[in-house]
Amino acid sequence: MSTILVATEIRQGELKSINLEVFTAAVKIAKEINLTTTALLSGKNAASLAEIPAKYGIEHTVVVEDAKLEKYSPDCYAAAIAEVARQKDAKVILMGATYTGKDLMSRAAQILDTALAQDCTAYRAEGGALRFTRPMYAGKVRAEVRVASAPVMATFRAKTFKPEENPVAAKVEKLQLNLPEPLTVLEAIETAAAGKLDVSEADLIVSGGRGMKDPNTPEGKENWANLEKLAELIGAATGCSRPVSDDGWRSHDEHIGQTGKTVSPMLYISCAMSGAIQHLAGMSSSKCIVAINKDPEAPIFKAADYGIVGDIAQVLPAMIEEVKKLKARD
Amino acid sequence: MNIAVCIKQTPDTTTRVKIADNGKSIMEEGISWIVNPYDEYAIEEALQLTEKHGGEVTIISLGPAGIEKTIREALAMGAHKAIRIHADNIPADPAVTAKALAETLKSGGYDLIFMGRQAVDDDHGQMPALISQALNLPGVSMVVKLTIEGNKGTALREIEGGHEKVSFNLPAVIGANRHLNVPRYRSLKGIMQAKKIPIEVKQAPLTAEKLLLEKMEYPPAKQSGKIFATGVEAVPEVVRLLREEAKVI
Ligand SMILES: Cc1cc2nc3c(=O)[nH]c(=O)nc-3n(C[C@H](O)[C@H](O)[C@H](O)COP(=O)(O)OP(=O)(O)OC[C@H]3O[C@@H](n4cnc5c(N)ncnc54)[C@H](O)[C@@H]3O)c2cc1C
Ligand SMILES: Nc1ncnc2c1ncn2[C@@H]1O[C@H](COP(=O)(O)O)[C@@H](O)[C@H]1O
């Protein structure tokens, strides 16, 4: 029987949550359009993760370990996806829309001469055909698209699905493939400060704008310290608007928006940002948005579920106190 | 160095996008068109490389005659040549654009091919990968830093929570990300010069689209949230709602 193939991304020996989200999506879709499910794990140590897909309901797991996959290279990894898709008669190929996922799936689509629906936030199965929803124009419109060739390929934006455990017996198979010589060489991976959660992977985000003030001033220093304290208390990642990272107040990897990262966390607390359209483009799909701004006319309030009109210098400390009280009662 | 930069004309990012009556595209009237913002990083990097190593920068864009105004804006930054690949419309399937671009790029003998990380209209983010794969050349997307020495390149590529350092041989395909450089302003001289550069028009047969856009909708309007004008006094209530109503903390 034909299958849905889920291509995975292994980072530092781990299958990050986005892979589990896509497993869950694949299991749901497979039921609706009557296909089996297969996960592909490629690269060094892939075998050590082979039991995980079955925990999320994936029936078959293919492990490809090859000297050419020792280090990540997009062309070689894409060739592996395409080859496994051919061998396993994949009708649908899915992957998480990380930066790497988007790149790899475009390449695999080129090899397989099919099309890719990129960065989707929903799907619909109707009469055996899949349709995908993808935000365009930085989320100002949503398009429904269909891939009119085989296999159907799509990447899903992080946090589109919640991983659901659904254990089945693991059927693991090791495949030897004939892979091309990698064209690029991965020399090193530089990671952000240890333990720092990236905004694109976070369930909760506390984010600051220019109204937080320059952290080199006493007022700004206090505000940003409070923002970090609140983030730590609730286990959130910290983000910022573009001018904040442009001015070097915060590091570039925190920049959210049209030209930065796109996030859709459970909770986004926006502190002293105006809510410019280019910023909203990166965070308006958050499930719950709290806005704090001293200007009641600030556009961010239009996007917010809860808004507090007030000075950040007073509101943040008050929030910290309230959350502490709440946590003390837990 | 012989460098190609593929650019796309996109609506200005502040445009209020309106869906056309056919429900499948956007209304084009009233839109001010710009060079896709990420493509400006691509152009800047190409210009800096030719300033250092000599050579020429060719701007390549696929689309109808109307995009020539945008091509001139790219030229005004200081590029040397331009090619427009004619298409009545810019395809909705990036794979179709990729095939046509690859056809032109193949015969150009380029040492480097630059693109933007993604076009801010379709938001596909596919082209650098598609082109690199189609031409069987090393390709790095999401590049924030690039070093070229002789026929070797090293790029820093953004990933979630860090960067990858990647090395490769030229020719290669680069997808430019923000922070790669600071794109220059167009000088009056540049704008005048750009007017004199002929834009070569090529025909490329387009293949059938396989990614079909069937419907466009606006995202559901958000119900207006609860806004508290009372400042600090509102905080206990908001924190309570976050726990009990939104269930997020
Ligand atoms: C092509 C393009 C791409 C862009 N991409 C992005 C992007 O990806 N991400 C992005 O964020 N921006 C982006 N921008 C910039 C965007 O247009 C805005 O300029 C930016 O988002 C504004 O940032 P801000 O809200 O932090 O600052 P401001 O707009 O300066 O807002 C500061 C806010 O803080 C409030 N405030 C001030 N003091 C206090 C206080 N004490 N207490 C409470 N509130 C206070 C003010 O009322 C104001 O609303 C882009 C722009 C362009 C042209
Ligand atoms: N019609 C086009 N003509 C030339 N280059 C394009 C075209 N469409 C996209 N590109 C290039 O591909 C990049 C990524 O586009 P996309 O994959 O559509 O998001 C853009 O930043 C451009 O550099």
Q: Is B194 helix (H, G, I), strand (E, B) or coil?
A: helix
- Please state whether beta strands A90-96 and B56-63 pair in parallel, antiparallel, or not at all (unpaired): unpaired
Angle, CA A96 vertex, CA A271 and CA A16 arms, to 5°: 75
Tell whether the model's pLDDT for residue B32 goes beyond 90.
yes
Mean pLDDT of B241-246: 92
- Residues A146, A215, single domain; the answer is no
pLDDT at B149: 96
Q: A122: Cβ–Cβ under 8 A, 6 or more apart, which residues?
A: A132, A133, A160
Mean pLDDT of chain A: 95
- Residues A114, A207, single domain; the answer is no
- Residues A229, A148, single domain; the answer is no
Size of interface A-B (CB pairs under 8 A): 267
| B2-203 topology per CATH | Rossmann fold (3.40.50)
- Residues A24, A75, single domain; the answer is yes
Alpha-carbon span A60 to A63, nearest angstrom: 10
Give me the half-sphere count of Cα atoms (radius 13 Å) on the Cβ side of residue B143: 27
Interface of A with B in 226-265 (CB under 8 A): 234, 252-253, 255, 258-260
Q: Is residue A162 included in any domain, yes or no? A: yes
Mean pLDDT of A173-179: 96
How many A from CA of B234 to the centre of ligand 1? Answer: 24
- Residues A74, A32, single domain; the answer is yes
| Model-level ipTM above the cut of 0.90 | yes
Nearest residue by C-alpha to atom 36 in ligand 1: A211
Closest CA of chain B from A39, distance in Å: 22
Q: How confident is the model at residue A196 (pLDDT cuts 50, 70, 90)?
A: confident
Which residues form the domain of A18?
3-174
Residue to mutate (ligand 2; options B3, B5, B7; most atoms within 8 A of CB): B7
Q: B111: Cβ–Cβ under 8 A, 6 or more apart, which residues?
A: B1, B2, B3, B55, B151, B170, B171
- Residues A9, A140, single domain; the answer is yes
Residue B118 beta carbon below 6 angstroms from any ligand 2 atom: yes
Q: Is residue A186 included in any domain, yes or no? A: no
Using CB atoms within 10 A of its CB, is residue A80 exposed (0-12), middle (13-18) or buried (19+)?
buried
Share of chain B above pLDDT 70, in %: 100
Reported as a single tens digit per residue, the pLDDT across A231-283 is: 999 999 999 999 999 999 999 999 999 999 999 999 999 999 999 999 999 99
Domain positions in chain B are 2-203
* DSSP conformational letter for A261: B
- Please state whether beta strands A60-64 and A171-174 pair in parallel, antiparallel, or not at all (unpaired): parallel
pLDDT at A225: 98
**Which of A136, A204, A268, A270 would you mutate first to test chain B, the one with the most B CBs within 10 A?**
A136
- Residues A12, A114, single domain; the answer is yes
- B103 phi/psi in degrees, rounded to 5: -60, -45
Answer yes or no: do B129 and A307 touch at CB < 8 A. no
Does B121 contact chain A (CB < 8 Å)? yes
Query: Which among A139, A157, A174 is the end of a domain?
Result: A174
- Residues A139, A215, single domain; the answer is no
- Integer distance in angstroms from the first to the last C-alpha of chain B? 55
Tell whether the model's pLDDT for residue B160 goes beyond 80.
yes
Identify the residue whose tokens are 């193949």. B106
Q: B62: Cβ–Cβ under 8 A, 6 or more apart, which residues?
A: B84, B85, B86, B87, B90, B97, B100, B101, B204
pLDDT at B202: 97
- Residues A318, A228, single domain; the answer is yes
Extract long-range pairs of A326-330: CB within 8 Å, 24+ residues apart.
Answer: A326/B239, A326/B243, A326/B249, A327/A233
* DSSP conformational letter for A163: -
Q: How confident is the model at residue A204 (pLDDT cuts 50, 70, 90)?
A: very high
- Residues A33, A132, single domain; the answer is yes
Mean pLDDT of B190-198: 96
**pTM, 2 dp:** 0.91
Residue A193: count of CB within 10 angstroms of its CB: 9
Count up the domains in chain A and report the number.
2
- CATH number for the domain spanning A242: value is 3.40.50.1220
Q: Which of A85, A93, A83, A99 is CA-nearest to residue A11?
A: A99
Q: Is residue A299 included in any domain, yes or no? A: yes
How many A from CA of A258 to the centre of ligand 1? Answer: 12
pLDDT at B223: 81
By Cβ distance, the residue of B14, B137, B210 closest to A148 is B210
Mean pLDDT of A94-116: 98
Radius of gyration of chain A (CA): 22
- Please state whether beta strands A288-293 and A267-271 pair in parallel, antiparallel, or not at all (unpaired): parallel
Answer yes or no: do B211 and A115 touch at CB < 8 A. yes
Tell whether the model's pLDDT for residue B15 goes beyond 90.
no
Q: Is residue A252 included in any domain, yes or no? A: yes
Tell whether the model's pLDDT for residue A194 goes beyond 70.
no
Alpha-carbon span A160 to A95, nearest angstrom: 12
Tell whether the model's pLDDT for residue A78 goes beyond 80.
yes
Report which bound ligand comes closest to the CA of A280: 1
How many A from CA of B58 to the centre of ligand 2? Answer: 15
Reported as a single tens digit per residue, the pLDDT across B43-96 is: 999 999 999 999 999 999 999 999 999 999 999 999 999 999 999 999 999 999
Residue B34 beta carbon below 6 angstroms from any ligand 1 atom: no
Q: Is residue A191 included in any domain, yes or no? A: no
- Residues A242, A307, single domain; the answer is yes
Residue A250 beta carbon below 6 angstroms from any ligand 1 atom: no
Alpha-carbon span B96 to B127, nearest angstrom: 10
Alpha-carbon span A101 to B142, nearest angstrom: 12
Q: Is residue A322 included in any domain, yes or no? A: yes
Residue B125 beta carbon below 6 angstroms from any ligand 1 atom: no
Reported as a single tens digit per residue, the pLDDT across B111-143 is: 999 999 999 999 999 999 999 999 999 999 999
Atom of ligand 2 nearest to the CA of B42: 23
Q: Which residue has the higher pLDDT, A191 or B154?
A: B154
Identify the residue whose tokens are 């002789």. B150
- Residues A147, A233, single domain; the answer is no
